[in-house]
Amino acid sequence: MQWQGLKSLHTLQFSKLPKLVSLPSGLQHVTTLQKLSILYCESFIAIPEWIDNCTSLVQLKFWECRSFTSLPVGMSGLTSLQQLDIYGCSPSLVNRCKKETGVDWPKISRIPQLHVHQRDE
């Protein structure tokens, strides 16, 4: 498996990839990954359920991923996650992440630095 060779990868950014719809499955084997950013990927729709395998993640960012609408149950398993930034993604994702009332709120409520904002249009 090609991703398993990345034993010291700490930071990964996917940016302006119009055909990216989800994270590559091999990424679940990169146990050293601490920071992951998905930026300006207009077709990105989902974080796979295996995201909880990425136990070293401390920072996760999603910016301008307009098709991204919900968070997987696996988000609850990211116990090292300290920062989650969601900006300019779908309005339904922003609503699902609303403090105390959003459907996805229980998955992210324990994250210390939580920033969820809709882009001003």
**Segments forming the whole domain that contains residue 77:** 2-117
The CATH code of the domain that includes 27 is: 3.80.10.10
Task: Quick: pLDDT tens for 27-75.
Answer: 888 888 999 999 999 999 999 999 999 999 999 999 999 999 999 999 9
Q: In this predicted structure, what is the pLDDT of residue 42?
A: 94
Task: Quick: pLDDT tens for 9-27.
Answer: 899 999 999 999 999 988 8
Domains held by the chain: number: 1
Inter-residue contact 47 to 72 (CB < 8 Å): yes
Nearest alpha-carbon partner for 119 in 51, 39, 47, 57: 39
Helix, strand, coil shares of the chain, percent, nearest 5, are 25, 20, 55
Name residue, tokens 């910016």: 63
Q: In this predicted structure, what is the pLDDT of residue 63?
A: 96
